[in-house]
Amino acid sequence: MEQSSYEGFWDETLNQMRAELGEEEFDGWFTGIKYLRSGKNSIIIGFESAFHRDKVIKRYQKTLAEKLKALTGDAISLNFEILPDSEAETEPAKRETGGKKEAPGSVLRETAPEKTKKPAEKAKRGQHPQMRDDYTFEKYVIGKNNDYAANAAIAISRNPGTAYNPFLIYGGVGLGKTHLMQAIGNHVHENSDNEVICITSEDFLNEYMDGIAQGKMNFFKNKFRNTDVLLIDDIQFFQDKRGVQEELFHTFNALHKTKKQLVFTCDRPPEELKKFDERLITRFSQSLRVDLQPPNYEIRCAILRKTAESRKSSIPNEVIDLISKNISSNIRDLIGALNTLIAYTEIMGQPVTLEIAQQKLRDVLASNRQANLTIETIQKATADFFSLNSNDLRGKKRNQKVVYPRQLAMYICREMTDYSTTEIGDAFGGRDHATVIYSIEKINNLKITDPTLDSTIESLKRQIKELSSK
């Protein structure tokens, strides 16, 4: 076979890759690759950077080898060179050479660059398209509720795939799980050549379904099993989805075996995941697990001040205090309330006063309590949580096995509903409002001395919400 004919086979290989991958993916990886010349049983192509070269090798080496062999009937060695700046910008001359025969081993193999060529420069990496540029460690407020999680995340970002792998961040909605996960990804992306994939569980599922429907499961598997860092948000979304759980299990094993970093977020501890493959539960349980708790008052104030500063907006301390005291559920609601006031100042050109804040946030503050949630639902969920009967919480028993869950249920009633202390007392066996107030204060005091109580409360709240939605 004439050596010059290999260029046509290379072009046809690219045409087939374009048809299989689609325009967007093909353009992302194959634009900028230049056919340079042919040798005997070999093709030499050029890349604009070593980073580009390495990623194409990693992702598409096997596929390119198979297509070239199918087209030519021979094992064609595909060698590469880094293009000088001048050649990377213009179409290279198609040069033929009668080089030595290459062994048909690895399809992509480096050849020594010509002495006249400039050394390759490290490619500049822009913002990662799957992550927010403001989700960084610098913009993450650290306090007692998240200091362990944040320090672990920082350590992981500096040495991915080593000591803390895999890494699972769990906690309620709006507590900063996604921010912390993406801060890891952004740091790795900006400070190394490691490939990072950041994806929501929903998008992971959609790509899995598309892979099945389009007969491209090999592409799906190669994409996720050949990355250096894989970040998946909200894995609880995989509940009762057996097919994608199976695929995630094998992806997990493949990456962990090759010491690639895995980071997951979830709204609950892994043992509370329902309709989940036990093998995955075991993998998640063996991860470094960190629990994000709702920020305390001081941290809520710090978050609001830092956010206002980043927006170059002046918010009075009494307004910061108003928001911090009334919104303790999560950071998302906290920032949402602040953004409402910042928008007011930007649109109206007027400073925010305490009176204006109370007026503009009246609906937000009111909605912080869950509508249509009954005391009976809270009682049932609490009784189930502590293996009791709802009647125990409403009855006269005063042993610690019942008193503590009863106090906790009263506390949650006050937190999650608009019922008065009198109404709550009536629902708990006709107890007076003073007893309810004492119970609430008792739980607040316990939260100070027992660092695990916040986690218990959040777990119980999740079960209450699930029960109320049925």
- CATH 3.30.300.180 domain position(s) in the chain: 3-110
Q: Using the predicted structure, report yes or no on whether residue 4 has a pLDDT greater than 60.
A: no
For position 119, what pLDDT does the model report? 39
Using omega within 30 degrees of 0 as the cis cutoff, is the peptide bond preceding 166 cis?
Answer: yes
Put the strands of the sheet holding 42-47 in their side by side order. 95-96, 34-39, 42-47, 77-82, 108-110
Buried b or exposed e, range 414-423, using 16+ CB within 10 angstroms: bbbbebebee
Q: Which residues contact 113 (CB under 8 A, 6 or more apart)?
A: 81, 82
CATH architecture classification, 3-110:
2-Layer Sandwich (3.30)
For position 38, what pLDDT does the model report? 83
Q: What angle do CA 452, 453, 455 make, to 5 degrees?
A: 70
Kindly state which CATH superfamily the domain 147-292 is placed in. Answer: P-loop containing nucleotide triphosphate hydrolases (3.40.50.300)
Q: Give dist(CA 137, CA 150) in Å, integer.
A: 8
Among candidate residues 160, 444, 468, 188, the one with its CA nearest the CA of residue 328: 444
What pLDDT band is residue 20 in, cutting at 50, 70 and 90? confident
- CATH 3.40.50.300 domain position(s) in the chain: 147-292
Instruction: Write phi, then psi, for 47 (nearest 5 degrees).
Output: -120, 150
Parallel/antiparallel/unpaired status of strands 34-39 and 42-47: antiparallel
How large is the average pLDDT for residues 205-213? 93
Q: CATH fold of 375-468, please?
A: Chromosomal Replication Initiator Protein Dnaa; Chain: A; (1.10.1750)
For position 451, what pLDDT does the model report? 76
* Structure-token pair, residue 92: 């290279």
Q: Using the predicted structure, report yes or no on whether residue 122 has a pLDDT greater than 90.
A: no
Give the rounded percent of residues in the chain with a pLDDT score beyond 70: 88
Put the strands of the sheet holding 261-266 in their side by side order. 196-200, 229-233, 261-266, 167-171, 288-292
Q: For residues 111 and 80, is the Cβ–Cβ distance under 8 A?
A: yes
Q: CATH fold of 297-367, please?
A: Helicase, Ruva Protein; domain 3 (1.10.8)
pLDDT (tens digit, 9 = 90+) per residue, 241-271?
Answer: 999 999 999 999 999 999 999 999 998 888 8
Q: For residues 140 and 236, is the Cβ–Cβ distance under 8 A?
A: no
What pLDDT band is residue 317 in, cutting at 50, 70 and 90? very high
- CATH 1.10.8.60 domain position(s) in the chain: 297-367
Q: Using the predicted structure, report yes or no on whether residue 93 has a pLDDT greater than 60.
A: no
pLDDT (tens digit, 9 = 90+) per residue, 139-197?
Answer: 998 887 788 999 999 999 999 998 789 999 998 778 899 999 999 999 999 999 999 99
Residue carrying the six token digits 């050596």: 3
Parallel/antiparallel/unpaired status of strands 167-171 and 261-266: parallel
pLDDT (tens digit, 9 = 90+) per residue, 336-360?
Answer: 999 999 998 889 888 999 999 998 8
How large is the average pLDDT for residues 323-347? 87
Q: Per 3-state DSSP, what percentage of the chain is helix, strand, and coil (rounded to 5)?
A: 55, 10, 35
How large is the average pLDDT for residues 107-115? 42
- CATH 1.10.1750.10 domain position(s) in the chain: 375-468
